[in-house]
A and B are shown apart, each in its own frame.
Chain A
């Protein structure tokens, strides 16, 4: 099992550019999440999904969008990148037992 796979691992964006962070899981989990982690800080929830077709905002959703068209995939979209979005982004998934499985992260710099 690959678990939770995130791509890309690293990305540098210019201010105002857009990009999509990809996340896919092969564990047939209903729940999927996007977190951001600023240097030396904890995890902040951006968006989450409880199943295909259902998404909801977390603590810090501004500047991001998500979609969940399939159980496996949960992409995160940045429309107009800003320096404040420089961070490490983690995707995670869980089943009914609430145990979260995290991907290895995407390190994003907006310059």
Chain B
């Protein structure tokens, strides 16, 4: 089955700097790669996603890149702000295999220091 590894587990950056979180996956059949943000005391919320037919997607200060050959994808946050502090989860979906649910990484706790 699919296995998703996420690094780093914690990340501290100065306000205004960029943050990068990386994930690798094992199942070459996976074709959908979302990123979720979880603020303290809340449920995870989808912030951006990418499908296997594109290499990069941007939404304002956040972007996701996908390298299908290497089986890794990354989240990039530019001009970080204190409100970006949260836990971020990557996931992969081997949906080509049927109704298999998303497989999540273990999360990255991002702290943006003002």
A107, closest chain B residue (CB): B41
Q: Is the CB of A43 within 8 A of B101?
A: no
Q: Mark A10-48, 1 if CB is under 8 A from B, else 0.
A: 000000000000000000000101000000011101001
* A43 and B89 form a contact (CB under 8 A): yes
CB A111 to nearest CB in B, in angstroms, measures: 21
Which residues of B lie under 8 Å from residue A98 when comparing CB positions?
A: 32, 34, 93, 95, 102
- A98, A99, A105: residue with the most chain B Cβ atoms closer than 10 Å: A98
Chain B residues near A99 (CB, 8 Å)? 34, 46, 49
Residue A74 at the chain B interface, CB threshold 8 Å: no
Interface residues on B, range: 20 to 34
A50 to B101, CA, bound (A): 10
Binary per-residue interface labels of chain B (87-111) against chain A in the complex, 1 for a CB within 8 Å, 0 otherwise:
0010001010001011011110000
Chain A facing B: main interface SS: strand
Does A102 lie within 8 Å of B95, measured CB to CB?
no
Residues in A whose Cβ lies below 8 Å from that of B45: 102
**In the complex with contacts A42-B107, A98-B95, A98-B102, A104-B34 CB distance below 8 A:** no
CB within 8 Å of A: which of B35-90?
A: 36, 41-46, 49, 89
CB distance from B58 to the nearest CB of A (A): 18
Tell me, yes or no, whether A60 is within 8 Å of chain B by CB. no
Closest to A43 in B: B104
B11 to chain A, nearest CB (A): 15
